[in-house]
Amino acid sequence: MSEPLLEPLRIHLDVEPAPEIDVVRRRGRTFRFLLHRPGLLVAIVIVVLVLLAAFAPGIFTSQNPIVGVPAHKLQPPSRAHIFGTDELGRDLFARVVHGAALSLKATIIAVSVAFVVGGLIGLLAGFVGRWVEDVLMRFVDVLLSIPGLLLSLAVVTALGYGTIKVAIAVGVASVASFARVTRAEVLRVRQAVYVEAARSIGARWYAVLFRHVLPNAIGPALVLATLEFGTAILAVSSLSFLGYGAQPPAPEWGSLISDGRNYLANSWWLSTLPGVVIAAAVLATNRISRALDGEWVKQR
């Protein structure tokens, strides 16, 4: 009588420690994955630094980004001002650090607009099909035919200036690619057996859509979103370089570069260093999205 009872008990004991080993092994795998890719490690560090700068600029600098010391104007990089100072004696490093918040905000808004609007269009087109799909996807084709920057400029013309408006304009320009990616994935998932099963047990269409199709179709759009971060940083800074972003005293990465443009011949650091920061941030996000897109999946 006791024999058969012991059997499952022993199996149970065998299984118990396994998840722990798995966690350790998985952690080791992540560690090894990163160790083999020093570039990716650096990229993660840069993104963390940018996030810190955006949320807690006080960690990096105690200098005021808006009010300068006129006597210290246009000083080259030194121990006291590692990025130098601008024409009003403001510390450039402080301006770059405080600018991270504005630029990050704009980037997040831009990516969210593209992700949500594009994702909904793609989801609807892929899920409903028929003429709805035709209409929506033709619309997306047309959006794709207008070069992104020009579409953004049209939106800026209509909305006016400001960080948030620029961010929306950048997001609108990327709606089309999100719509395409989401639709393709929804079409793939819609064919899956579990969706058919859900339908056949009488699940309502919104349950099928939001509980079965959406969670399984969102992956590629998320990867695209990480890739879009880099693109959006560049697009937002381009528009703020052209003067459509944050208005003067506020520091924004793109407008810092255009401010420094007038002093290019004598004060190289004013345009150069903020540009290096932008390039580093974009490179880092692109590197991370590339890792998410291919390498990590391949490794596992």
Partner 1 sequence: MARYLVRRLLQAVAVLWAAYTISFIVLYLLPSDPVSIMANGGQGEQNSVDPAQLAKLRAEYGFDKPLIVQYVDQLGRALRGDFGRSVQNGQPVTTTIRQALPQTLQLAGFALVLAIVVGGGLAFLATYTRRRWLGEALLALPPVGVSLPSFWVGLMLVELLSFHWRLLPALGNAGFSSLVLPAVTMALPTAAVIAQLLAKSLKRTLAEPYVETARAKGLRPITVHLRHAMRNAVLPTLTVSGMVVGHIFAGSVVVETVFSRNGVGRITATAVDFQDIPVVQGVVVLGALVFVAINLAVDLLYPLLDPRITAIPTTVR
Binding residues for partner 1 (CB under 8 A): 138-139, 141-151, 153-160, 230, 234, 237-238, 241-244, 254, 257-258, 260-261, 264-265, 268, 271-272, 275, 278-279, 282-283, 286-287, 290
Please report how close the Cβ of residue 224 comes to partner 1 at its closest, in angstroms: 15
Please report how close the Cβ of residue 112 comes to partner 1 at its closest, in angstroms: 19
The nearer residue to partner 1, 217 or 277, going by C-beta atoms, is: 277
Here the tokens at position 292 are: 């998410």
Contacts of the segment 25-31: beta carbons below 8 A, 24+ positions apart? 29/299, 29/300
Backbone angles phi, psi at 242, to 5 degrees: -70, -10
The nearer residue to partner 1, 112 or 238, going by C-beta atoms, is: 238
The nearer residue to partner 1, 92 or 234, going by C-beta atoms, is: 234
Please report how close the Cβ of residue 255 comes to partner 1 at its closest, in angstroms: 11
**What's the CA angle centered on 263, arms 150 and 170, to 5 degrees?**
20
Please report how close the Cβ of residue 257 comes to partner 1 at its closest, in angstroms: 6
The nearer residue to partner 1, 35 or 264, going by C-beta atoms, is: 264
Please report how close the Cβ of residue 199 comes to partner 1 at its closest, in angstroms: 34
The nearer residue to partner 1, 123 or 169, going by C-beta atoms, is: 169
Q: What is the DSSP string of 190-224?
A: HTSHHHHHHHHTT--HHHIIIIIIHHHHSHHHHHH
The nearer residue to partner 1, 127 or 253, going by C-beta atoms, is: 253
Please report how close the Cβ of residue 251 comes to partner 1 at its closest, in angstroms: 16
Could you give the 3-state DSSP secondary structure of residue 252?
coil
Non-local CB neighbours of 118 within 8 Å, separated by 6+ positions: 174, 175, 176, 177, 178, 179, 181, 182, 221
DSSP state of 141: H
